[in-house]
Amino acid sequence: MPTETDQQAAAATDVLSDGRWDRVGVLLPLALFQPYDYLVPAEINLVRGDFVTVPLGRRHVTGVVWGAALGDVDPAKLKPVAARLGMPPLPAISCDFIDWVAQYCMAPVGAVLRMAMSVPDAFLPERALKAWALGDPAAAKATPTRQRVLDVLRDQPPLPPTELARAAGVSVGVIAEMGRVGLLRAETLALPRPFGTPDAAMLGPTLSSAQGDAASTLAELQPGVTLIDGVTGSGKTEVYFEAIAATLRAGRQALVLVPEIALTPQWLTRFERRFGALPAQWHSELTGLARRLTWRGVLDGSAKVVVGARSALFLPYRDLGLVIVDEEHESAFKQEEGVIYQARDMAVVRGHLAKIPVVLASATPSLETLVNVETGRYRALHLPDRHGGATLPAIHLIDLRRDKPARQSWIAPSLRAELEQTLAAGEQALLFLNRRGYAPLTLCRTCGHRLQCPRCTAWLVEHRFHQKLMCHHCGFEAPMPPACPACQSEASFAACGPGVERLAEEAAALFPEARRLVLTSDTVTGPAKAEALMKMVAEREVDLVIGTQIIAKGHNFPHLTLVGVIDADLGLHGGDLRAAERTYQLMSQVAGRAGRGEKPGRVFLQTYDPDRAVMRALKSGARDAFMAAEAEDRREAGMPPFGRLAALILSGRDEAAVTARARDLARSAPHRDGVTVLGPAPAPMALLRGRHRIRFLLKTRRDIAPQAVLRAWLKGQKFPGDLRLQIDIDPYSFM
Ligand code: ADP
Ligand code: ZN
Ligand code: ZN
């Protein structure tokens, strides 16, 4: 978590002066560490947050007035602000927040601003839609063709030309001519907004008493952070809907952050049922026009509820009154590229700056959050039971050392028997394997050559569905070579290990009669496809689902009674400090897909290590004891949240240059109490997208801000050529 000193540093840049500014600092949405000074023409009056266009080199750029001029440039050389845009200024809290995030993440403040302005067309004047209404009936003769147009409009609001032409079955030329002669009258329509106005007064479902207690606590809208800790299906969503309702009643905006994958049609339908309208949505699939209208709606306050992926946090809220982070434990909240930030943590900061409540919801809260509850920094509300008396599925472990699948197959005999039984009873089953493609590794049986990505330290994964080899790290694709590139042997490739496609093949051989569906990001290609496929499952058109983590979240499958996890150990390899925690979370989430209807669910986890703490905890459901033990390990190791981490990744195309620069950097590494520098060492992903990578890990005591240590260390350090130093505060990836 951010520290007080960081906060003061951010506040110090908030320089405001009384009266009119004659020079201002304008922050541009570019990778800049500070605003640029500009002169203010006499006819323009500017305040902090105003959107302006300014000259930059030979072009004009839209930026934001950040405060008084810094005064580090000769005034004679300054250029004037070109124009102030006619839209509300970026609210002060948004400016403060951008400063704060930049300081904490050690990112260029202009790059953080860019995340808040990520909608280029947002600054164009409001566009309007031209539409035609009935004009003067006496203006000209109505031919039969023209009459058809008039008939369409008789009981319709005005229509845009193409729609009117289509409805009347005439050409657009006919419409234009009718307009010219006056039979039709042009009107302008405001563009339809891609969101509605949620109504807090609509009635929600009757809450259970545990839900009701939690909801009324949240409805008080006290500033501070509250965790809703409740098992999958306990009704957390219904509870936080009540906090949204209270926020709407207070006339303020609410934001719901979800991992991108969890923004399901099911969620939207529920929202619409509760509030009578759709919320504004913010995610990568949004069209340009919807983005622009949504951004403007957030700024002018007409978008009351926004649901979106992590970047929605940077929208220019006019008056944000509540932030909810659903599935708060999800690592998808960590942005790993560009400005590297943890959206859940930054949501807490956003709430703190605005003095508004932040609600974190999860069935398996992160260790960081649980520790914050433990120490009293966060409040916790508990929903221990599934809604409507549905029971949580029982979790069983299958010991793969004893219960061995046949050669080149992955389903253990006991799981196979369970599947047979479930399918015979006409119930649904799910096989889970969090690995895309056919096989994670392809090797040559003759010489042992392994097919590897030319740009990364990674195997190429065969995807039979797309008939190609793919690198999951850089997107490299190639057809399967006809012969081994090393020894030229033909037909010598062997697939090693299972991917979800290979599992599907095995399932097809075992259960040829079952209606099977493979759900991975290769088959679920977008929200519409996702909706259609999930509906097939929910409506029982499928007997056996085989999928990756794409199915783990949000979806409610009422007929599903059996879940089989093919490789529960998959996430435990590698030196990730959160590996066991994440395994617990993912397995619980997958398990939570079962038994959401009337029949109880059963879950089988295949593992080679059933005695491992995380497996025992999954079986017994002793989450809190498991997490407490994990926390104890981290405390002893001084790892987060008991200490702080920052990762430095130095990369470049020339391996020797990267190595030499890393050695140099190591020479000036800080030596002081409470600070440890690990590395330099080649990253586990030593080559990524053709760049060689060397890592340092900075570890500090909790009371020492790694940012301050890094600033001192990196002061004046240059990274010439294509060398790049990436700073990752609070890293989640150790690759
Ligand atoms: P969670 O978010 O904790 O996984 P949900 O809020 O999705 O749980 O609730 C699980 C299911 O129970 C959903 O289908 C939801 O519509 C239903 N549900 C939850 N609370 C109620 C309630 N008070 N009345 C009726 N249905 C409810
Ligand atoms: Zn690659
Ligand atoms: Zn070979």
Name the helix (H) or strand (E) containing 502: helix 500-510
Q: What's residue 126's pLDDT?
A: 64
Residue 394 shares a structural domain with residue 518: yes
Q: What's residue 128's pLDDT?
A: 66
Residue 8 shares a structural domain with residue 84: yes
Q: Within a domain: residue 458?
A: no
> Cβ contacts of residue 557 below 8 Å, gap of 6+?
428, 430, 537, 538, 545, 593, 596
Nearest protein Cα to ligand 1, atom 19:
235
| Ligand 1 center to 269 CA (angstroms) | 13
Contacts by 705-709, CB closer than 8 A, 24 or more apart: 705/3, 705/5, 705/6, 705/644, 706/644, 706/645, 706/646, 707/6, 707/103, 707/104, 707/106, 707/646, 708/5, 709/670, 709/672, 709/675
Q: Which atom of ligand 1 is nearest to the CA of 230?
A: 3
φ and ψ at residue 541, rounded to 5 degrees: -85, 0
| Ligand 3 center to 493 CA (angstroms) | 8
CB 208 near ligand 1, within 6 Å: yes
CB 588 near ligand 1, within 6 Å: no
CB 589 near ligand 1, within 6 Å: no
Nearest protein Cα to ligand 1, atom 23:
207
Residue 582 shares a structural domain with residue 691: no
For residues 119 and 206, which has the higher predicted lDDT (pLDDT)?
Answer: 206
| Ligand 3 center to 686 CA (angstroms) | 24
Residue 611 shares a structural domain with residue 690: no
| Ligand 3 center to 438 CA (angstroms) | 20
CB 230 near ligand 1, within 6 Å: yes
pLDDT exceeds cutoff 70 at 125: no
Residues with CB under 5 A from ligand 3 (ion): 444, 446-447, 449, 484, 486-487, 489
Q: Which atom of ligand 1 is nearest to the CA of 207?
A: 23
Cα 218 to Cα 199, 243, 664, distances in angstroms: 18, 5, 53
Look at 57-66, 115-124, 150-159 and tell me which has the smallest mean pLDDT: 115-124
Which pLDDT band holds residue 138 (cuts at 50, 70, 90)? confident
CB 207 near ligand 1, within 6 Å: yes
- Write the DSSP assignment of 232-284 as a string of letters: TTS-HHHHHHHHHHHHHHTT-EEEEE--GGG--HHHHHHHHHHHSSPPEEEST
Q: Within a domain: residue 669?
A: yes
Helices and strands of the chain, counted as H and E runs: 20, 31
Indicate the top mutation candidate among 258, 387, 596 to test ligand 1's pocket, ranked by most ligand atoms within 8 A of CB.
387
| Ligand 2 center to 440 CA (angstroms) | 13
Number of the ligand closest to the Cα of 446: 3
| Ligand 1 center to 476 CA (angstroms) | 42
CB 644 near ligand 1, within 6 Å: no
Q: Within a domain: residue 682?
A: yes
Last residue within a domain, chosen from 573, 596, 630 = 630
Q: Within a domain: residue 705?
A: yes
Q: What share of the chain is helix, strand, coil (3-state, %, to 5)?
A: 35, 25, 40
Look at 187-191, 272-276, 383-387, 516-520 and tell me which has the smallest mean pLDDT: 187-191
> Cβ contacts of residue 572 below 8 Å, gap of 6+?
579, 580, 583, 609, 612, 614
CA end-to-end distance (rounded Å), the chain: 22
- Report the pLDDT averaged over residues 575-587: 93
Q: Which atom of ligand 1 is nearest to the CA of 556?
A: 14
Number of the ligand closest to the Cα of 327: 1
Residue 213 shares a structural domain with residue 309: yes
CATH number of the domain bearing residue 407 = 3.40.50.300
Q: What's residue 399's pLDDT?
A: 98
| Ligand 1 center to 386 CA (angstroms) | 8
Indicate the top mutation candidate among 216, 238, 555 to test ligand 1's pocket, ranked by most ligand atoms within 8 A of CB.
238
Percent of the chain with pLDDT over 70: 96
Residue 345 shares a structural domain with residue 307: yes
Total domains in the chain come to: 5
Residues with CB under 5 A from ligand 2 (ion): 453, 455-456, 471, 473-474, 476
Number of the ligand closest to the Cα of 443: 3
CB 387 near ligand 1, within 6 Å: yes
CATH number of the domain bearing residue 96 = 3.40.1440.60
| Ligand 1 center to 562 CA (angstroms) | 21
Residue 300 shares a structural domain with residue 332: yes
pLDDT exceeds cutoff 50 at 650: yes
Q: Within a domain: residue 693?
A: yes
- As a three-state string, the secondary structure of 286-354 is CCHHHHHHHHHHHHHCCCCEEEECHHHHHCCCCCEEEEEEECCCCHHHEECCCCCEEHHHHHHHHHHHH
- Report the pLDDT averaged over residues 56-68: 94
Cβ distance 593 to 627 under 8 Å? no
Number of the ligand closest to the Cα of 237: 1
| Ligand 2 center to 665 CA (angstroms) | 27
CB 75 near ligand 1, within 6 Å: no
Alpha carbons 721 and 495: distance in angstroms, whole number: 41
pLDDT exceeds cutoff 80 at 721: yes
To the nearest whole number, what is the mean pLDDT of the chain?
91
Q: What letter would DSSP give residue 482? A: S
| Ligand 3 center to 489 CA (angstroms) | 6
Q: Within a domain: residue 200?
A: no
CB 238 near ligand 1, within 6 Å: yes
Residue 594 shares a structural domain with residue 687: no
CB 362 near ligand 1, within 6 Å: no
| Ligand 1 center to 232 CA (angstroms) | 9
Tokens of 370: 């649980």
Contacts by 157-162, CB closer than 8 A, 24 or more apart: 157/131, 157/133, 158/131, 158/132, 158/133, 158/187, 158/189, 159/131, 159/132, 160/129, 160/130, 160/131, 160/132, 160/189, 161/130, 161/131, 161/132
Contacts by 705-713, CB closer than 8 A, 24 or more apart: 705/3, 705/5, 705/6, 705/644, 706/644, 706/645, 706/646, 707/6, 707/103, 707/104, 707/106, 707/646, 708/5, 709/670, 709/672, 709/675, 710/106, 710/646, 710/648, 711/106, 712/670, 713/668, 713/669, 713/670
Which pLDDT band holds residue 149 (cuts at 50, 70, 90)? very high
Nearest protein Cα to ligand 1, atom 21:
235
Q: What's residue 392's pLDDT?
A: 83
Q: What's residue 311's pLDDT?
A: 94
pLDDT exceeds cutoff 90 at 102: yes
pLDDT exceeds cutoff 70 at 337: yes
Q: What letter would DSSP give residue 126? A: P
Which pLDDT band holds residue 16 (cuts at 50, 70, 90)? very low
Number of the ligand closest to the Cα of 471: 2
Parent domain of 692: 643-729
Residue 308 shares a structural domain with residue 368: yes
Tokens of 291: 């983005």
pLDDT exceeds cutoff 60 at 482: yes
pLDDT exceeds cutoff 70 at 117: yes
Mark out the alpha helices in 560-697 (DSSP H runs).
579-591, 613-620, 623-637, 655-667
pLDDT in tens, 692-712: 999 999 999 999 999 999 999
> Cβ contacts of residue 76 below 8 Å, gap of 6+?
none
CB 205 near ligand 1, within 6 Å: yes
Q: pTM here?
A: 0.89
Burial 143-180, CB ≥16 within 10 A → b, else e: eeebeebbebbeeeebbebeebbeebebeeebbeebbe
| Ligand 2 center to 477 CA (angstroms) | 9
- Report the pLDDT averaged over residues 552-557: 72
Tokens of 258: 């979800």
- Report the pLDDT averaged over residues 139-157: 89
| Ligand 1 center to 387 CA (angstroms) | 6
Nearest protein Cα to ligand 1, atom 26:
205
Look at 120-124, 132-136, 276-280 and tell me which has the smallest mean pLDDT: 120-124
Classify strands 441-444 and 428-432 as parallel, antiparallel or unpaired: unpaired
Look at 34-43, 182-191, 407-416, 598-607 and tell me which has the smallest mean pLDDT: 182-191
pLDDT in tens, 277-316: 999 999 887 878 889 889 999 999 999 999 999 999 999 9
Q: Within a 10 A sphere around the Cβ of 712, how many other Cβ atoms?
A: 11
Q: Within a domain: residue 486?
A: no
Classify strands 544-547 and 516-519 as parallel, antiparallel or unpaired: parallel
| Ligand 1 center to 491 CA (angstroms) | 53
Residue 97 shares a structural domain with residue 231: no
Q: For 423, left (φ over 0), alpha (ψ -120 to 50), or beta?
A: alpha
Last residue within a domain, chosen from 597, 630, 663 = 630
- Report the pLDDT averaged over residues 517-526: 85
Name the helix (H) or strand (E) containing 11: helix 4-12
Cβ distance 367 to 631 under 8 Å? yes
Coil, strand or helix at 577:
coil
Residue 503 shares a structural domain with residue 611: yes
pLDDT in tens, 377-390: 999 999 988 887 77
Q: Which atom of ligand 1 is nearest to the CA of 326?
A: 2
Residue 304 shares a structural domain with residue 329: yes
Number of the ligand closest to the Cα of 449: 3
Which pLDDT band holds residue 93 (cuts at 50, 70, 90)? very high
- Report the pLDDT averaged over residues 99-111: 98
Tokens of 719: 């990274």
Last residue within a domain, chosen from 142, 160, 190 = 190
Q: Within a domain: residue 134?
A: yes
Q: What's residue 643's pLDDT?
A: 97
- Report the pLDDT averaged over residues 161-168: 88
φ and ψ at residue 538, rounded to 5 degrees: -60, -35
CATH number of the domain bearing residue 712 = 3.30.70.600
